[in-house]
Amino acid sequence: MTPLASEARPAESRRLSPVAPVALIDSFLGMAALLNPEGRLVAVNRELAGLGVGDDEAEVAGRYFWECDWWAFDPNVQTRIRRAIELAASTGQAQYLRVVKRVHDCRFLNVEIKITPFDSPCGEGGWLIYSARDRTAQMAGEEALALSEQRFRLAVESFPDGLVMVDQKARMVLVNAGMETLFGYARDELLGADIECLIPDAQRQGHAAHFLRYMEHPSARAMANRRELNARRKDGTEFQVEIGLNPIPSDQGTMVLATIQDVTARYAARRATERALEEKTVLLHEIHHRVKNNLQVISSLLNLQSRGATGDVAAALAESQGRIKAMALIHQLLYERNDFSSVDIAEYLKRLCNLLSESHRSIRPRFQFVLEADDGVCVSLKRAVPCGLLVNELVTNALKHAFPEPRTGQVRVALAKGDAGFTITVADDGVGLPPEVLPGVTRSLGMQLIPLLTDQACGSWQLDRDNGTRFTIRIAPDEGRETA
């Protein structure tokens, strides 16, 4: 297909058409052609010639415009162009249409066409001017924009909660189906209405001022700051909501896209959970209080029993009473702290040492208690009981055997936290344990209890007999319960 350019054959262009109309179409920035009143092609401008008009320029000249190769691929397009040319020639009025045009490289363009009647100022009769502009890129952009808009609206409509866009005057300019479901309004009733119609009277006061302050410095955020918000339906009923705000820049200024979620059921479930937790806390509180009281009753019974006992029996009853007091002390701490998940070991050791000191006040002049405990070591009740009994056994053993008269000394209890759990040390500078006394081997109850209680506490023990007696109990981490 050979392009037809006006400058390619200037002599022939002048021969085919009057000079003035040819100069006119050459001045067009878009595609243009000169047609006679019958619709035959007389001349084309540079841009249209560059798109090709046929196999030979001479063959095209004088052909009906709608028969050119641009339109030959579709008879319907040819018919539409022919009608537009005939109407323009017969009525003297410009005709407009949009069609698809084929060019020389087999591409197709979406073009907007205008057929304009034209009377030559030289008195050469009436002519028709074909002008067109390529709208392919524009239509592609429009289609992409329409597709993007369609996807946006689809996303908005499919959102399970309410979505509303508000302009700078707090008027609703976009709502989704969720808003209709939540509030009971039809979409037409919401669009253009003030957002305050969805706010209960009790919370409406001051809303305008809050909205203006937000628009001064808009940012994505949640409303209420943990304060419960209510919304009002069309029928006047109120329900609890959570609202998220997102500023959206637009040609009309900053809009606000708000998400509104009905949280009535969630809040009701949370309140039910809180009530159940409160009831559980009260129940546990009562349980620990009763366990502590029952242990104190047992301790009192043992105390009464020991009054009529002598020798080893009295000593055994006193030791059992000390063990019960050690367990009761744990329940006392849980009761006081109102936290039943863990026991503060430092506080426990402090009270236990005071309790043991008071229980052995008859020999108190011969020993001195020293307590060194790191704060922040907490363990579960499951491990706190064996730890407390271990310390009770070790301290009681030291007070009974480390300082025979007239020897005096010091009993040191230390608690040290570390990355691998914590360590409890009970040491004295007394006479020391005889070599034949071994925990777990010696048949005394205290020595039998030391390895058993250590295993229950998930720990290990070490005995040092230099300069008195030192027991080191290392307790492994309690599944993340120990805290520093």
Q: With contact defined as beta carbons under 8 Å apart, do 218 and 203 qualify?
A: no
Q: Which two tokens stand for residue 394?
A: 């070790």
H helices of 238-380, in order, are 264-307, 311-337, 345-359
Other C-beta atoms lying within 10 Å of the C-beta of residue 478: 20
| Annotation: CATH topology of 341-484 | Heat Shock Protein 90 (3.30.565)
d(CA 21, CA 35): 10
DSSP 8-state symbol, 362: G
Kindly give the pairing relationship between strand 343-344 and strand 378-379. Answer: antiparallel
Q: With contact defined as beta carbons under 8 Å apart, do 409 and 468 qualify?
A: yes
- pLDDT for 472: 92
Residue 104: strand, helix, or coil: coil
DSSP E strands: which ranges in 137-216?
162-166, 172-175
- pLDDT for 124: 55
Q: With contact defined as beta carbons under 8 Å apart, do 36 and 16 qualify?
A: no
SS3 helix, strand, coil % of the chain, rounded to 5? 45, 25, 30
- pLDDT for 353: 84
Q: Which two tokens stand for residue 292?
A: 């502590």
Helix (H) or strand (E) holding 368: strand 367-373
- pLDDT for 123: 52
d(CA 3, CA 69): 12
Q: Which two tokens stand for residue 436?
A: 């034949």
d(CA 256, CA 165): 5
**470 forms bridges with which residues in the sheet?**
427, 464
Q: Which two tokens stand for residue 223?
A: 């409303």
d(CA 133, CA 99): 11
- pLDDT for 1: 35
- The phi, psi pair for 378, rounded to 5°, reads -125, 140
Render each residue's pLDDT in the chain as its tens digit; 484 residues.
333 333 333 333 333 445 556 667 777 778 888 888 888 888 888 777 777 654 445 556 788 889 888 888 889 989 999 999 999 988 889 999 998 888 877 788 888 989 989 876 555 567 888 888 888 888 888 888 888 778 877 777 888 889 999 999 999 999 999 999 999 999 999 999 999 999 998 888 888 888 888 898 888 887 765 567 899 999 999 999 999 899 988 888 899 999 999 998 888 898 888 888 888 777 777 777 777 788 788 878 877 877 777 777 877 787 787 788 888 887 777 777 767 778 888 888 888 888 888 777 777 777 788 888 888 888 887 888 888 888 888 888 888 888 888 888 888 999 998 877 899 999 998 888 888 888 888 888 878 888 898 898 888 999 898 888 999 999 887 654 444 3
User: Which CATH number, 3.30.450.20, 3.30.420.10, 3.40.50.150, 3.90.1150.10, labels domain 161-262?
Assistant: 3.30.450.20
Q: Closest Cα to residue 448, out of 458, 435, 461?
A: 461
Q: Which class is 10-134 in CATH?
A: alpha beta
